[in-house]
Amino acid sequence: MSVGILKESKYEILAILREECRVKSEIDIYYQGELWAANIKKVDFSCFYINPGDTDFSSIIDDAAFSFVLHSQLGKIEFSAVLNTACDRQNTTNAIAFFLPDRINILQRRLTQRVRVKNDPEFFCSGRHKSGESYKCTINDLSEGGCSFISDSFKKKFMDKGMALDNVEISLAEYGIIVTSLKVVNVTPVYQDRSHERSVFRISCKFNYKNPETKKYIEDTVLKITVDQKLKARRF
């Protein structure tokens, strides 16, 4: 199994599988070198059921272990599960039952995901300008490519487009802290009322990664936040 985000909570696994069932995500089923494509037909508290189509499972041994790859909007979801031989394999609903997996592994999509974390004071970046003046700004959103943050003031000589911010501490609540460098790609005023008299500034930056470990950390963190936000919002 590839390295990704591991989920071992039964309730989270149940919620994720139910959502994939709802949106009819395609699932690949592997057993002894053979591959079938199907959909999850139903999920209950102990099992999930797949629609076998024209595939004949009658010759497969009792309690056989299968490997699965779910093609989700989150990415690829890999897991193993055991055939539930207590159920009638070819029952009236024409579904094959498997016990819920003990764990699932979520592999990030190659497409860049962006998560919004604005209004959460535990997500912020901080550092010092070359003048020695310190700053601390709330993060607005985050992706593997960069982040944007909100500043109450804009000092052109420190944060203008094209400038570098070195040794920036990115604080990501319970997901940890990492120090990296940023390059400012855009500065946008965000007006807080119709009079345009009160505004803050959104500073959009890209990461200047110094090593692959930092990039991998950000990629994994973005995926973790994405999954956790969906679970908290009860979208699963």
Residue 212 burial (C-beta neighbours within 10 Å; 0-12, 13-18, 19+): exposed
pLDDT in tens, the chain (236 residues): 555 788 899 988 999 999 899 888 889 888 887 878 888 999 999 999 987 666 666 667 777 889 999 988 777 899 999 988 776 544 445 688 899 999 999 886 645 677 888 778 899 999 988 888 899 999 999 988 899 998 887 676 778 888 899 999 999 999 999 999 999 998 887 765 555 555 778 899 999 988 888 888 898 888 888 888 877 765 54
Please state which of the four CATH numbers 3.40.1400.10, 2.40.10.220, 3.30.300.30, 3.40.50.300 is assigned to the domain occupying 114-232. Answer: 2.40.10.220
Nearest to 222 by CA among 66, 107, 98, 99: 107
Sequence ranges of the domains in the chain: 5-108, 114-232
**Architecture (CATH level 2) of domain 5-108:** Roll (2.30)
